């Protein structure tokens, strides 16, 4: 019996790991002295994971794209994209262009590359945030699963399903007298049916039990709320699925800024290049922040400016003296 349980656990863990495939995402930012910046992206790994929406790829016509995704069977595939951005031009928070996934569910990368010319000096800045997924506050057992996928905590998938259902109820505009009824029926279903299932059984029949839970919370509600509740649930479900799909995705950023580096939180540096490397564990709760700032000083301009300011003050002072004498 002990051996059988171990075999079942190994099979279950194997099924879980097959859901997630590794992809490497590499970004290179090179900022020019005029403030324009060049971005190169390279994705490498499993074809399906490259093409899904956990991290959408650059597809805009402004990007120069090369890909091996159309090739026949291969162990891994490559997708590269290259684009030159103008000075202070907006960098997209996401590359997703479709309408089947709500914006709230997507992984967002807020990146700003700024250049300011103050005559006496020029400043360059790179500020980026990979938006946190707030996993720990939403589904703590999923957080444990992400930290150790080879030893999934018991009940992590049940917890995730219950979060999707209860949060759908919380966000929907359900009548005050109907809400307690739905909560009671949902709790009864959880205790008497959902909790009786093994994690492997639930994984195999996830669609069946997900739809059963949806029926429980939607049937007592007013029909005019069905579309709203369905949209809320889809947003939450896509958010969770995207988070899980990101488990084995790794990211690396490289940055070159002009001038003298003033501050950065880069993981490492080599010559004039800054490096960051991170994965889901780094942003599953809080935002992952990357920042670097540099400047170019112009001593001659500063001296000229000081001289001009001195002459201006001197002339102004002498004019005031003349006026007083008059």
Q: What is the pLDDT of residues 162-194, one digit of tens each?
A: 999 999 999 999 988 899 999 999 999 999 999
The residues spanned by each domain of the chain are 22-134+248-298, 151-244
**pTM metric for this prediction:** 0.84
**What are the strands of the beta sheet with 273-279, ordered from one edge?**
64-67, 77-85, 37-45, 23-31, 249-256, 273-279, 268-270
pLDDT at 166: 96
228-265: pLDDT as tens digits:
999 999 999 999 999 999 998 999 999 999 999 999 99
State percent of the chain over pLDDT 70.
Answer: 87
Can you tell me whether residue 127 is helix, strand or coil?
strand
- Position 313 confidence tier, pLDDT thresholds 50, 70, 90: confident
Beta strands in the chain (DSSP E): 23-31, 37-45, 64-67, 77-85, 109-117, 121-130, 249-256, 260-264, 268-270, 273-279, 288-297
Close Cβ partners of 12 (under 8 Å, ≥ 6 residues apart): 152, 199, 200, 203
Region of 31 on the Ramachandran plot (φ > 0 left; ψ -120 to 50 alpha; else beta): beta
Of 118, 117, 121, 123, which Cα lies nearest the Cα of 298? 121
State percent of the chain over pLDDT 90.
Answer: 70
Beta-bridge mates of residue 85:
37
Kindly tell me if the per-residue pLDDT of 114 is higher than 80: yes
Kindly tell me if the per-residue pLDDT of 281 is higher than 90: yes
For residues 252 and 312, the model is more confident at 252
How confident is the prediction for the chain on average, in pLDDT?
Answer: 88
Distance CA 253, CA 319 (A): 58
Of 168, 165, 162, which Cα lies nearest the Cα of 191? 162
pLDDT at 298: 66
Residue 195 φ then ψ, to 5°: -70, -20
Strongest mean pLDDT among 41-50, 138-147, 193-202, 317-326: 138-147
Distance CA 161, CA 212 (A): 11
pLDDT at 212: 95
Residues 257-282 have a mean pLDDT of 96
Q: Under a CB-based contact definition with an 8 Å cutoff, are residues 63 and 82 in contact?
A: yes
| Torsion over CA: 51, 57, 59, 64 (sign) | negative
Size of the chain in residues: 326
Q: Are strands 109-117 and 121-130 parallel, antiparallel or unpaired?
A: antiparallel
Q: Under a CB-based contact definition with an 8 Å cutoff, are residues 258 and 32 in contact?
A: yes
Distance CA 225, CA 309 (A): 68
């Amino acid at each position: 019996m002990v051996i059988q349980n171990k075999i079942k656990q190994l099979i279950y863990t194997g099924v879980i790991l097959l859901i997630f495939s590794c992809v490497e995402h590499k970004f290179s930012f090179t900022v020019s002295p005029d403030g324009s910046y060049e971005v190169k992206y390279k994705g490498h790994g499993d074809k399906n994971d490259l093409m899904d929406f956990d991290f959408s790829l650059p597809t805009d016509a402004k990007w120069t794209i090369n890909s091996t995704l159309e090739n026949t069977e291969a162990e891994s595939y490559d997708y590269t994209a290259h684009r030159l951005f103008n000075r202070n031009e907006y960098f997209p928070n996401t590359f997703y262009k479709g309408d089947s996934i709500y914006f709230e569910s997507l992984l967002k990368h807020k990146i700003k590359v700024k250049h300011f010319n103050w005559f006496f000096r020029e400043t360059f800045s790179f500020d980026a945030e990979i938006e946190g997924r707030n996993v720990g506050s939403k589904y703590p057992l999923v957080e444990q699963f992400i930290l150790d996928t080879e030893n999934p905590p018991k009940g992590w998938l049940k917890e995730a399903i219950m979060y999707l259902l209860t949060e759908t109820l919380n966000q929907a505009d359900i009548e005050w007298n109907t809400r307690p009824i739905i909560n009671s029926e949902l709790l009864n279903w959880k205790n008497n049916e959902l909790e009786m299932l093994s994690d492997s059984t639930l994984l195999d029949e996830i669609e069946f039990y997900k739809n059963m839970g949806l029926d429980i919370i939607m049937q007592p509600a007013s029909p005019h709320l069905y579309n709203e509740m369905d949209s809320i649930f889809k947003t939450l479900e896509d958010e969770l699925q995207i988070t899980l799909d990101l488990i084995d995705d790794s990211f690396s950023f490289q940055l070159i800024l002009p001038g003298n580096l003033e501050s950065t939180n880069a993981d490492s540096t080599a010559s004039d290049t800054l490096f960051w490397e991170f994965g889901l564990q780094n942003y599953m709760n809080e935002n992952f922040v990357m920042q670097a700032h540099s400047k170019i000083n112009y001593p001659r301009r500063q001296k000229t400016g000081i001289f001009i300011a001195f002459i201006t003050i001197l002339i102004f002072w002498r004019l005031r003296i003349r006026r007083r004498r008059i």
